[in-house]
Each structure stands twice: as structure tokens, then as C-alpha cells.
Structure 1
Amino acid sequence: MLTQRHSLVSTTLGTSRELVSFHFGNAGNAHAGREKVYVQASLHADETPAMLTAWTLKQRLAALEAEGRMRGEVVLVPVANPIGLSQHVLGQFLGRFEANSGHNFNRNFPLPSAAALIERAGGRFSSADAAHNARVLRAALVELLGETTAKNEFESLRLTLLTLASAADVVLDLHCSLEATMHIYTSPASWPAIEPLARHLHANGVLLASDSGGQSFDEVHALLWNEVRGRLGDGIPLGAPNIAATIEHRGQRDVDYDTAAHDADAIVEYLIARGVIDGNAQDAPPLAQPATPLAGSQQLTAPVSGIVVYRAKVGARLKAGDAVFDIVDPLTDAVTTVTTSNDGVFYMRRAIRFVYAGAPMGRVTGETPIRSGVLIGA
């Protein structure tokens, strides 16, 4: 295991932070032509289950490397947001937004344009070797990112994460929701490659979108790949797309060793199946739920203010018309029941139990697209 420390730009006098990455299989053990996988956790710093899963995965990878079983390379960043980890206000952990700017740590990631990437790659493309072209493009992307200067700590964090991930064949961004069942966000192009991981993780929901509108970390890699493919045309093959996904490791309070071990072992099984780790891959279990379009998920909102009483459990399979939650008004005695219009899985909900009118309350998967535009929240 190789440990690298990446200093971030110091925003104020007397302060400094660093990002730490762990590299497995790159010190002479990786076989040429094998895959490189990038895994990061807790880009939203208060999403702790992802961090514990990454720590557990780190132990697994260190043992596997000691056994000589690394055939490819894995880059692991178990603490992807040291800035957010330091943001506490009156005892409240604020890890989703950067306090100085208000920016969401996982929105609007900047990558060089497809045109700039193709120009930097120059005449190094092959008309027959898709794998060669992928390596050329990823090297060009790392070069362009290396020429970028970050103006502050927030930008330097983003730039460092993008640089570490941009040479990878597979990008896995580990998160969690507020109260949720295990679910995954990925693109239709990445889904065939991600499906075995969803099976091993027992994902209870898979949400597909080519462009959710948020430019989240995993999505910008796939979007750039698609744009490059469109510009190059059929004459220059690219093979498989950049494989990228956001893994939502249930809810913020689902922090325990057994759950983290299950998820880390699922990722290891996935890496064995892809040939990144040597071993006999286990058969993946059946898919818990079919993948559905992110545009098909119903976003439930509170029509009035009051006390929230959930009628449906997280992970429940619901039918249209089923009650999801009540809102109780203790002044008027009114009880307002909110139902779902979808047949699907109630895959995430808010963790608080008193809401204002219009508050987002949860989501239910659905097979038919019902929304357009920006599909993810702030």
C-alpha cells in the first residue's frame, strides 16, 4: 500500500488541510492492461456510513495486496472531504455544503471540455484499438487538470479528487442518505457494468439518468466520455464508457461494523469479478429490484406544516395510493395523509419529524418518467 498526502490550498493564515489517498496494486504488482478503480467516501462529510465502509475496504485491500492478489490498481480515498469534517456549528455537523461559499460539495464539478481533451490528445488516437484510445484520453485529462490552478481550499479539494479519479476505468463515489435503504445512482451506459455490484450490495433501488442536471462527481466523468464519443464519431473507437456510480449506503445512522463489512466485501467481490483482484468470483445474488429511471421517482413533499408520522418503512415496496406519512397539526387536530402515486420502493426519507409546508419528504421509485430538468436536490 502506497500512501499519498495531497496538500490543499490554505484559505486563511495558520490553517492547512490535506487529502490522503491509499494506492493498492501500483507498486510493481499490477499487471499491464488491467483496470484502475477509484473509490472515495463521504464527499458529503456527514455521511459517515460510507467512511466506515471505505475504512473496512482499506483493511481488505491491504490483506489482499499482502497475499499478492492485486492484478489491477485501486485508489482509495476514505475521507474525501476534510473541509466538511471540520464544519460544526453549535454542535451541529454541517458536511454537505461548504460554509464559505454555500456550494454543495457534490455539485457542479468542473472538468475540461471534450474539445480541449481531444485537442490535447492530438494525433495519438488509433482507428482500431479502443483500449489505447481510452488510455490516451485519460492521460490527456490528467495533464489538463495538472495545468489548472486552484484559487482556494474548496477548489483545490475538487481538483485533487478529479485528478485522482480521472485516470480510472471505474469510479465509485460512496455516500449515504438521511434515512434510506441501500440504493445506487448511475447512468444507463454504466448500468450493465454496475449491475453485478448492485447485486452483491443487495441494492433495493437503482436510479438511472444520463444527466441529472447536478454535475455530481460520478456523473461528470460519464458525461465527458459521452461528449467525447459524440465528437470523435465512429472512426475512433472508445469501447466501454467511463463506468461511474454513486453508492448510497443507507441512512446516516446506519453505522456499524457488520453493515460496513457486508458492503466492503461486496465491493471486493465486484473487483474480483472484474479481474482487478485475483480470485474465484462468487455468483452474484439476484437483483433485489429492477433499475428504474431517476426521472420516474416521485418526490414527496409536505403540503402543510406539522409533526411527521411515517406510515411506510424505508425500503418498503408500495402501491399507488398507499399512505406514506401523516402530518399532524397539534393546534387544529387536522391529520393530513400523503400517499404515493407510484408503484415502487420508498427508498429514502427525511430524518426530522417536524416539517414546514413544501419541505421535501422522501422519494419512491417509478418505472415511468414523470419529471424533467434537474432531477436531484441541492
Structure 2
Amino acid sequence: MKRLLVLALALCAPALRADSPALTITQQLIPSPAPVGATTPLFITTADNLQLAWSETSSDSPPAHIRSTWDRATSRWSSPAPLPITKTPPASVIPRVTFPDSSELTAFFPEKNGRILDLHTQRHHGSTTSVPQPLSSDNWPQPHSISVPPEPPLLHSREARVLVIWLNHAEKSPRLFAALSTSAGEQFFLPIRIDDGRPLGRASAVLLRDGSAYITWLESHGPEKTAAALWLRRLSPAGDLSIPILITSAPSAGALGHPQLALLKDDDTTPAQLLLAHELTTTGVTQLITRLITLPPAESFLQGRPCLTCPPDTATLPGHALTGRVIQLIPRKNQAVIEHPEIPGILPAGQTTFRIDDPTLSALNNITSLLARIEQRDGIWHLFDARPLSLPPLP
């Protein structure tokens, strides 16, 4: 187990703010379930488990797709097994995420007058489709011909929170950007440059329960800029970046493949954990490397608050804000029926029954209009942190 504390690095981004926090992680190399020669790692996350899939090729048979499941009890991979493949999606598929209310968000590079423009997003809800919106006010044209499209954007969501990452080639030096939304993509915060100066792209990311994101990507490395380095950094809910951590490097970007990051654990009071998988090719031999990364607690990033006892930014709180009116309390079931406006990506306007604990039930006895937080746990919507509002909510 290797402990890394990065306070200053020669390779730090030159434009990095002086108050950018350091990032402390615990990194452990774990035995890979894939044999030598395996390529193209891909994490498959379900409600019950986390799987690592990869491809195996041989000279006398077509590529085989294999998977292994992470055993949380033993912290080991299961025995490899074939991965059922029903259909291979085409490379041109537009990235898409789906929200709890069944609405969707897509991200793509539109074409105009034979040029590829900067990244746009578009919301889809039932038969309604919004007008595509650029994530940059500049809307720079990309210097690509249509036959050479840019790297597809990365789109990731957790309930109504959205993270989109893309590589922009509008100027001489490529730039890797990220943008966050807390409203299912209806509005985005200003894009933030993620890279360290020489981005190659191939980003991967996860969103944590506290609203922060952890992002990996590749950079060109070394005096000849032919080597590649794999970096990790944290993006806070408020848009603050940590100092990047160098995970590993290789003689070329091809030697690292397209690294994949997955969230292993983020559901209790212990530190969150990630799994990182990437190729490593040396002397013509490729193997899959898997790393277990334990993250620092969110409390480690409090320097942006005026004081340790000040209320946190609402973006760092679990769940989603809700304004509404108490319609009915059901004490025997610890439930409350609340009338509320639409919460984009989460709930349509109307009445919803929420699970509440005893203190919240007691508080709601004296509240007509409220401001609260809601969160889905094991498929059930919970309401907590209820506070009275002096004015009734909008209908």
C-alpha cells in the first residue's frame, strides 16, 4: 500500500490557484483478474455489484469478452466468466444519461457550415426536446474536418447531478474541460479547465454523494512529449480543483489504453473508495492493472469555508433541495405527503409520499410550508432537514 501526499510537484499546472487544496489518497495495487494480453477495460456498475470487463484476442478465434465481479467481503475479483454481448453499439452513439424522472440528457459536438462546434447539451423528456445549449459562451469552432471528429465527451450523472468532460481543440493547445450541473443539465456552472497543460484526453470520472467529482485523464509527458502520464484530481461541488496526483506513466499513450474509473463504496461513514483499471504495455506485452484508491473524507476540504462550524455550501449536502406544502402526515408509517413543484431530473410537480424519521415527523406537525432535503435510498424517497418557510411555495 502506497500513501501519496502531494503538496507540490514540478508538473503542477502553472495556472493553479495558490489556495488549491492538496489531495491525500491511499493507493493499492490489487491482483488483476485478467490474463496477460487482455485489453479494453470497462467497468459495469449494477445495483448489486461492480464488474470489470475486458477483451481477449487470439490468432485463431474472434475476440472474447470476459468479466469478473468484485467481492466486497474479500476485496478480491471473482473467477473470470464470459460476458454476454447482445449488441455492440456503434462508435457514433451520442453519450446519454437518464435521470430518476426518466428524462435524459445528451452531449455532442454539432456541425455548422462544415465545421464542428464546441460541446452542446440537450434535454429530452417524453416527447419534449429542448434547444441544444453550448457549454461555452464562445462557441468556438473546432479545427477538425467532419471526417476527423473530436474525442466523444464523457457524460456522468448521479440523480440530478451531472458532470460532463470534453477535450477542446479550438486553439493550438488542447484543453480538457469539465462542467457541473445540479439540475439535470438545465443549467451548468461555468466550465473549468482540468488538465495540467498537455492533455491527451481519455478521461474517466465518478461523482460522489457529497457532490464532488474525481477525474482521471492522460497528459503527454517528458521532454519529447512522447510519453504519457495518468493523473487524478478532485473537483469540488463549488468548482475548486485539488492539486493533481500522478498515478503512473508510460512510454506512450497507447501503452495506457483508456483508463477506467469506478466508484466502489460511498454509502457509509468510512472513506469512499474507487477502482481504477488501465492497460500497461511494456516490451510488446499488455496487461490490465487494477488499483484500489481510498479517498480522504470530505471534511478534509474545509478550507473554503469561513469557519469549521459555519454551515456548508448547499451543493455539498446530500440529496436535493425541495420546497413544498405538507398535505398529510401518516405517523404509523413514518410518511409525509408533500405537494411540491418540479425538481428537474428527479420528480415532476405534484404530490409525493416521503419516508421520514421520528424527529422530522415531530417537526412537520408544526410546519405548513417547508424547505427540506430529499434523497433516494434503496429505491425509497426520504425527506429530512425540514425547515419552515414563511411564504407558501409556488403552485
| TM bracket, shorter-chain basis | under 0.3
TM-score by length of 2: 0.24
Select the structure with the greater relative contact order (CA < 8 A; seq sep ≥ 6): 1
- Rg larger for: 2
TM-score by length of 1: 0.25
